[in-house]
Amino acid sequence: MPEFMGTPDGTGRRAAVIVSRFNETVTTALGEGAVNTLVEQGVAFDDIDVLVVPGAWELPAAARSALASGRYDLLVVVGAVVRGETPHFDFVAGEASRAIMQLGLEYELPIGFGLLTTDTMAQAEARAGGAHGNKGRDAALAALEMADLLGRLEAADAEEHG
């Protein structure tokens, strides 16, 4: 029985990091964590584009455009939605998350998901380089691993049927 597992190897890959500007102190740290991780894992700095959007609601539109361009092997999407006193949080966090997941399935390209959905700003800060690490880094590693895994599956399928 074959077992397939990806590794976070960025060699020869082109990536877009899409960063929501809202809650900027947190999202800047997430974006930097993603970019630094991509470079550490072998993606050439010049092969990374950073797309900045106003807020989490706009992340899916930018992701769709980036995916449709055919320019990228993977995306990393980062942002921070912090719960407030109204149901706005539920709509933005849930719908943006759902749309991003759907785009990954539709385009069959990995999207590292680094959209924080927290109750407080302190929780968001803890996940943007604080006590809980940097979720931008985690999202970049996941996207790279999935890009490698999908490539391995494609190569195995081509070998078997090709």
pLDDT in tens, 20-54: 999 999 999 999 999 999 999 999 999 999 999 99
Indicate whether 162 pLDDT > 80.
no
Residue 79: give its domain's CATH number: 3.40.50.960
The answer to whether 88 is a known catalytic residue is yes
Catalytic annotation, pick one of 12, 54, 65, 88: 88
Average pLDDT over residues 50-74: 97
Classify residue 149: in a domain, yes or no.
no
- Residue 136: predicted pLDDT: 98
Classify residue 39: in a domain, yes or no.
yes
Whole-model pTM: value is 0.94
Bridge partners, 118 (sequence order):
82
Classify residue 148: in a domain, yes or no.
no
pLDDT tens by residue, 72-119: 999 999 999 999 777 788 889 899 999 999 999 999 999 999 999 999
Classify residue 131: in a domain, yes or no.
no
Classify residue 76: in a domain, yes or no.
yes
Classify residue 58: in a domain, yes or no.
yes
Classify residue 136: in a domain, yes or no.
no
For residue 61, what are the domain limits?
13-118
| Number of structural domains the chain divides into | 1
- Residue 119: predicted pLDDT: 93
Closest CA to 27 of 47, 56, 49: 56
Classify residue 109: in a domain, yes or no.
yes
DSSP class of residue 12 equals T
